Structure 1
Amino acid sequence: MAIAALSSGVTGLNAAERALGNSAHAIANIGTQGFQPQQATFAENTPAGTGVSISTRGQELLKVDAPSATNLATETTNSLVYKAQFNLSAKVVQAADQNIGTLINIKA
């Protein structure tokens, strides 16, 4: 059980990190003409309870003279959500690590 929680926490950390990087990339390109940011989508792995994965919808360049399609308010909000997801996943990993340590100590 603790190993599964550890694995779920790690996949959550990885997905939140990728999403945060995606959002940072969009913010960094806010002044780039024709930039269309990618959209991060989270999905539960199968079987259920084994973690989370992330996919990003590919970016397409708009007309070169069009302004960037990045919405700063949306990307800032997304960044805060992804940071919270990362912190919660880190807590899952920490709890799983403590449970594993307890199991090892009990058997010793």
Structure 2
Amino acid sequence: MTGLQANGKALGVAAHNTANMNTDHFVPQGATFNEARPAGTGVTLSIAARDLSAVENVGGAPSGTDPAASIVNSLVYKAGFELSAKLIQAADERLGTLIDIRA
């Protein structure tokens, strides 16, 4: 479940950055995945404004958002969300099989 939540939020960050790409003085945010504590219990997401002071305006957008990086990030987060959903589905099927065997 934490993978679904983290990837969903990260996709929201990428969408927010893309939507504000042409907004002057907009500071894009970055999403960073971290291991939840205690270890092995899932993933969390940290969202912070990117430090653009040393970064060139590669994408040409007034905000400093790189359109190519934003698209790639969106695809990665979407794939992560879908993978997490399949993992939950497989775990649910295995649990159902376990319950049927014992019945």
Please tell me the TM-score bracket, short chain as reference.
0.7 to 0.9
Do 2:6 and 2:43's aligned partners in 1 also have CA atoms closer than 8 Å? Answer: yes
**Which whole-Å deviations, capped at 9, do the CAs of 1:14-49 have from their partners, x for residues lacking one?**
000000000000000011001111100000112222
CA displacement at 1:59 relative to structure 2: 6.5
Please list every run of 5 or more consecutive structure 1 residues that lacks an aligned counterpart in the other structure: 1-9
TM (normalized to structure 1)? 0.81
Q: Percent identity?
A: 56
1:23 aligns with 2:18: no
Whole-angstrom CA distance in 2 between matches of 1:54 and 1:74:
18
With 46-55 and 68-77 compared, the bigger mean Cα shift is at 46-55
TM-score by length of 2: 0.85
Runs (4+) off by over 2 Å: none
Q: Which has the higher helix share?
A: 1
Query: 2:97 — aligned with what?
Result: 102
**Partner of residue 79, structure 1:** 74
Q: CA deviation at 1:67?
A: 1.9
Q: What residue in structure 2 maps to residue 46 of structure 1?
A: 37
Alignment match, 1:6: none
Give SS of 1:54's match.
strand
The amino acid that maps onto 2:98 is: L
Q: Aligned-pair distance for 1:106?
A: 1.4
Q: Which amino acid aligns with 2:10?
A: A
Higher relative contact order (CA 8 A, sep 6+): 1
The aligned length equals 95
SS in 1 for 2:69: helix
Match of 1:5 in 2: none
